[in-house]
Amino acid sequence: MLAGALAALSLAISSRDPSGVATREGPGEALADQCASHTGPPPGFRYATRPPASGPHRPRLPRGDERRLSDDELLHALELGNVVLAYDARRPPRELRALRDEVAGPFDVELAAAGQAVLVVEHPAAEGITALAWARRLRTGDPADPALREFTEAWLGQAAPRAGDACRDSG
């Protein structure tokens, strides 16, 4: 009886452990969830990826796309359930604009606040095209890659599992 109670307690505790790799199934690479704390990164903190796909940030809603976003804006957009299509060129590829418009329409701040926007943004670390959702990433060199649509449609509206939670030993 005691062994059963201990096993149940262990299962309950481990099910709340936010560390490790995202376990949601879907397209793209599952990444470590570095939490969604709204405190900003602590001193010495390093995001696991560039551009970041999760981590502590100040809640700053993006006011537009087709420009460079701060890490705070990018992460808050992902936390809410938006999908970010990052490119490393001076201008966004027309294929990314078309994908955004077909899936979610042109950028709208109200859609972004509801986690229903696709943002096309410049980011020097995109290394071609990088699609981002919370703790998910897909990289490609082709802005017309069909995997981008699959990723975008699968993750749009999928908010961070523990939105706003405090970070535990994420650095």
Q: What is the pLDDT of residue 24?
A: 72
Q: What is the pLDDT of residue 146?
A: 98
Decide if 123 contacts 88 (C-beta within 8 A).
yes
Tell me what percent of the chain is helix, strand and coil, each rounded to the nearest 5: 30, 15, 55
User: CA-CA distance, 67 to 69, in Å (whole number)?
Assistant: 6
Q: What is the pLDDT of residue 164?
A: 58
Positions in the chain whose pLDDT score sits under 70: 1-23, 163-171
Q: Determine how many CB atoms are found less than 10 A away from the CB of residue 42.
A: 11
pTM above 0.85, yes or no: no
The domain limits of the chain are 26-155
